[in-house]
Chains A and B, each alone.
Chain A
Amino acid sequence: MVAAPREGLLRRTVTAGLVAGVVLVYLSMVGLVEAFSHRQAVTGIGAEAGPGLLTLGRVMIGGAVFLGGLILSGRLSQLAAPSAVGRLMVVGGAALSGLIAGSVLALFVLVVSVIDVRGVFLSVTPALLDYLTFDQGPALGALIILMSLGIISALAGGIRLLGLQDRGAVLKALTAALLISLLEPLLRPILGQLELADVNRFLYAGGGLTQPAAAVILGGVAAASWAWARPAAPLRQRVRDLPGEQRRMIGIGAALAAFIGLLILPQISTGFVSLVLVNVGFFLLLALGLNIVVGYAGLLDLGYVAFYAVGAYTVAVLISPSSSAGGPITELVGTAWAFWVALPIVMITAALVGIFIGAPVLRLRGDYLAIVTLGFGEIARILFGSDALRPWVGGPGGVIGLPNLQLPVVGFQFTSPSQYIYPVIAFSALAAFVAWRLANSRTGRAWNAIREDESVAAATGVNITNYKLLAFALGGTLGGLAGALFAVQLRSVYPGTFNIIVSFTVLAIIILGGMGTIRGVMVGALILVGLPEALREFGEYRFLLYGAALVAMMLLRPEGLFPSRIRRAELHEELPPEEQEQLPKSGGGGLAVSAGPISTYGPGSQPGG
């Protein structure tokens, strides 16, 4: 064992090991490890008969340590000298932190094998212990844990020492294999539907990737990544050399292909996939709306669910024959037109509610605004479930019996999620278009100015009252629209649906994706809503996942996954390398905007004024 000579190195190593160890114990204690203990990552590894040992639960433990080792060795390799000794220190440090993490977990195993803590921690079962120790008993199992985690972490350190190109290939291959294995419950039915039974049989064998498939995926992705990242890779070079116009065409083409793929997907997959996508769509609509309020105008609204509820209830009362109002719109225009006639009313109602909520909080900023809107969200939920409004909206029982969504002239009825997905996509696209148009306009700039500095915005000529109310109204309209679609798809509305968690989820989507960008919102919705629904193992741990994702995000990439260029520059105070290259042509000698602190004195202003 190479002890790190510098105190900083040793301290970092020990800290990383302890953190990883605590994470492992935590994952085990909450039951997440066991939830994934029945699915294999790759089948038949390490066992002659029966299920293999390489299950997803163990992959999770190993993966956490691997990731920890990778991050730690990245830090270490910055500190250590670029010599043989330095390299040894990086790998040794990673191994040491793996051993420390392993010893924490081993200690946990030893302790709980003696002391029964199931009274408090329900998930700490004998089955979990057997699983963690590979059925070898506490003593031998602890040793196995220790050694294997040490080796995994050392491997991560070794991978860190590889060149950028090789490292990228290895990591991408591992990620791809893991993803394909993880998404088995989603991919198998789709492949089945496509009558690609052969592919199915090649890839999956009852709860895991087959060994040949794993080999092909690992090898294939690694080779492709390696070839693409080669400094003089012909393919990448050719793409880069294309004129801007053509590159844009390729981008548009790719987006179009993805969109068409999305349109076809519900037809070639199971209803389950469609249901997940429909849910993602609702949250996408909500997130696009909240993005206007929070991302563009900087008004932190924690009660956004109120609009979702207003939209859902308005449409329900207007078109459901079994509502107390008897569905006046349905009576008036018939079931075919009901939704479409009700929709403008819903949107106007939601906009008015936005103004109604917005008006009293106009003078509040930041935290105060957040608290008050949080209250509004709760008020909405409680009101809709209350006895006071029971005669109109049905109290806890809600409103049922909404007619199906129909396309009037064609006479088409939407019944299943695989059909509802299309109006959801259409409205989401419309909302994204509206948000995109507004972003770079007089309106969007006025919002941004309010976000940056309210009083200066006012003194620069922005009518902050109007623009704040506009943000609330437009955000509310989109939220109401999402609620209306949600109600008509479910064909019923219950107050319990509209809890505070919806507000938080939508906000988390925006933060994860990158505040203020539309692409980021889409990816955020897919990850935070789609993933937990698609992987039922995660279902119970959804909020754990949100919390972990957000904390990790804030530490590692506070600008979100797909930030706008501006936001990225804001948080890192440097331009990405490719943009830096283009800058210094201007001739202005020390105009490096990139690295300087915010208010350095300019080395020399431009001559002439």
Chain B
Amino acid sequence: MQQQASAKATAEAAGDFESHGLILQVQGLTKRFEGLIANHNIDFEIPRLAIVSLIGPNGAGKTTLFNQITGLYQPSEGSIGFDGVDIIGLAPHQIVELGMARTYQNIRLFENMTALANVLVGHHVRLHAQWWQVVLGLRAVREEEERSRRFALELLDLVGLPRHYADDLAKNLPYGDQRRLEIARALASEPKLLLLDEPTAGMNPRETRQMTDLIGNLRKELALTILLIEHDMKVVMGVSERITVLDYGEKIAEGTPDEIQRNPRVIEAYLGKQATV
């Protein structure tokens, strides 16, 4: 698909941050909310084409980290380099344009728009039609619209959403399919890095298995790098190559799944608070 070509192009034009094939490089990131330190001095990187998981007990600061990477929050200190560009201070839509897309822990679709329209909004950054061109009904606009529509339908296929859902309101879709739709919307922006915030939350074992397969497939078929926040350890251990563990806003461990499972600090963090894993 298009991503591969564009990923290559930007890799060549890489700047200071780009080294050793890293797509994301977070350095010394700190976020304070009026006295509360949500993230403290986090160093963190993602190699290109990897699937990396971010885990940690509730309130460890995972989603806060996500929100800073995607530009929804401005960090108090530190730097974030994405694909060779310093993205601190960029608006969220500019970061999307650079090739980053995300989903949300509590599904946040455009509920009263159709499933197809949700995906088309995702494609927004890759389209060019201006309002006056739309009003004039230029042929280029109509062709782009048609292409975009076909692309969106293909994405519905890719994430496994039946096409007859295309014209249904997003909020009327079953829960699991809403999660898939959110992924389709994110993919529509043709990202290089996809951030998934608890993609299997609230799913039954069968849906969870399907979602795990989907995540693996996406990387293969779209040449994506994926960063995952996840609580289901089966998913985390099954799908990711590297894992970063946060606790109380700080990074306490990093490594392969095997290393993480044996790491005493991780075991303490988890067993100390919630006896899961």
Contacts and interface: CB of A to CB of B under 8 A. Distances in A.
A pairs with B: yes
Contact of A569 (B141, B169, B210): B169
A6 interface: no
B89 interface: no
B131 A606 contact: no
A609 B217 contact: yes
B235 interface: no
A598 B172 contact: yes
A599 interface: yes
Nearest to B207: A605
Given A459-B71, A460-B185, A461-B97, A600 B162 contact: no
A470 B131 contact: yes
B175 A600 contact: yes
B177 A570 contact: no
A449 B113 CA distance: 8
Contacts of A567: 112
Contact of A464 (B93, B131, B159): B93
A593 interface: yes
B112 A445 contact: no
Contacts of A593: 165, 168, 172-173
A603 interface: yes
Contacts of A446: 121, 124
Interface stretch (A149-157, A225-233, A402-410, A450-458): A450-458
Contacts of B173: 593, 602
Nearest to A434: B135
Contacts of B108: 453, 456
Interface string B142-168: 000100100000000001111011001
A601 interface: yes
A453 B72 CA distance: 13
B127 A442 contact: yes
B102 A459 contact: yes
Contacts of A448: 110, 112-113, 117, 121
Contacts of B122: 460-461
Interface in B178-215: 178, 180, 185-186, 189, 202, 204, 206-207, 210-211, 213-214
Contacts of A599: 107, 175, 178
A442 B113 contact: no
A458 B92 contact: yes
A4 B125 CA distance: 63
B114 interface: yes
A573 B127 CA distance: 32
A290 interface: no
Contact of A609 (B129, B131, B148, B210): B210
Nearest to A590: B174
A583 B101 CA distance: 32
Interface string A568-609: 011001000000000100101001011010111111011011
Contact of A605 (B107, B124, B189, B210): B210
A463 B129 contact: no
B137 interface: yes
Given A434-B135, A452-B110, A453-B110, A601 B176 contact: yes
B176 A609 contact: no
Kindly name the residue among B92, B127, B175 whose own CB sees the greatest number of chain A CB atoms within 10 A: B92
B162 A588 contact: yes
B129 A443 contact: yes
B134 interface: yes
A204 to B, nearest CB: 46
A372 B70 CA distance: 30
A461 B189 contact: yes
A438 interface: yes
Contacts of A453: 108, 110
B259 interface: no
A470 B135 CA distance: 14
Given A460-B122, A460-B124, A573 B172 contact: yes
Interface residues of B, number: 63
A268 interface: no
A460 B121 contact: yes
A248 interface: no
B248 interface: no
A273 interface: no
B120 interface: yes
B157 to A, nearest CB: 10
A102 to B, nearest CB: 44
Given A452-B112, A460-B96, A601 B134 contact: no
A474 B112 contact: no
Contact of A570 (B135, B169, B210): B169
B91 A463 contact: yes
A445 B113 contact: yes
A465 B93 CA distance: 10
B54 to A, nearest CB: 18
A536 interface: no
A458 B93 contact: yes
B48 interface: no
Nearest to B218: A609
A227 to B, nearest CB: 35
Give the most central of A465, A474, A601, A609: most B CB within 10 Å: A609
A438 B113 contact: no
A462 B124 contact: yes
Contacts of A594: 172
Given A434-B135, A437-B135, A461-B97, A605 B112 contact: no
A442 B129 contact: yes
B111 interface: yes
A437 B134 contact: yes
Contacts of B112: 448, 452, 566-567, 570
Contacts of B141: 441
B21 to A, nearest CB: 25
B104 interface: yes
Which 5 pairs between the two chains have the least Cβ-Cβ distance?
A602-B174, A461-B125, A609-B160, A461-B96, A452-B110
Interface of A: 434, 437-438, 441-443, 445-446, 448-449, 452-453, 455-465, 470, 474, 566-567, 569-570, 573, 583, 586, 588, 591, 593-594, 596, 598-603, 605-606, 608-609
Given A434-B135, A457-B121, 20 more contacts: A438-B131, A442-B127, A442-B134, A442-B145, A443-B129, A448-B121, A452-B111, A453-B110, A458-B91, A459-B71, A460-B122, A463-B91, A566-B112, A569-B172, A573-B172, A588-B164, A600-B174, A600-B175, A609-B214, A609-B217
8 contacts: A438-B134, A441-B141, A441-B145, A443-B131, A457-B121, A460-B124, A601-B176, A605-B210
